[in-house]
Amino acid sequence: MLRSRGTTELGAASLEVTKMRRRHLRGVMAIERQAYARPWTPNLFVAEMSEPNNRNYLVARIDKDVVGYAGLICYGDEAHITNIAVEPMLQGHGIAHRLLAEEIDAARAMGATAVSLEVRVTNWRAQRVYARFGFHPVGIRRNYYAELHEDALIMWTDDIRERAFRQRVISIVQRLPEGIRPQAGRQ
C-alpha cells in the first residue's frame, strides 16, 4: 500500500484515472472512512456504479494503490458531484484537481451545462479548489453534515460548455505536476 511507504512525495510515480470497479472498493473505503464521519457503504458505491447512463465514478491510482476517487450524477443538463476524496497523506498534489477536471468532462459528455456540489463550510481547502474551477457559493444546507453539526456550502458553476470555462479547466490541468496531469494526447 502506498501509505505504508511512509512518504508524502509522489516522486516519479504517475497518476492513472480510471472508472471505479468493485476491485477498487477496498482502497476507496479506506479513504472514505478517513474523509467522512458518516462514510458510504461498499453497497452504496456498487449501486451507484451500476447506473452508468447517468453516473460516473472514477478512481485515481498510483501503481495499483487507490489514492483518490470522485463521483458524479447527471440528470438532464444538471450534474452533481456526489463525492471527491484523496488519501490524506497525498492531498495538495493536484489529485483532486485531476479528478474534478475529469468529472466535469464526463458531465459535459452526458449533456450537462451546470455542475453543483456541497462542501463543509469549514473546508476552506476544498472550497479554494472548487473556486479555481469557477464554482461559486449559491446557498447553505443547514446541518447537512449532521454528525459533525456542520452546514454545507452549496457551490455551482453553470457554464461548463462555454469556451472560457473549458479553457480554464485546460489551464488548471496543464499546471498540474507532470505525474498528475494526463499523458499526452489525453484531456
Look up 144 and say whether it is catalytic: no
CA–CA distance, 159 with 74 (Å, rounded to integer):
15
Q: Which of 130, 144, 145, 147 is catalytic?
A: 130
Torsion of CA 123, 11, 64, 1, to 10 degrees: -70
Catalytic residue among 57, 87, 118, 145: 118
Q: Cα–Cα distance between 125 and 113 in angstroms, integer?
A: 25
d(CA 164, CA 187): 16
Closest by Cα among 41, 30, 102 to 66: 30
Task: State the Cα–Cα distance between residues 79 and 106, nearest whole angstrom.
Answer: 9
Active-site residue 118, yes or no? yes
By annotation, the residues acting in catalysis are 118, 130
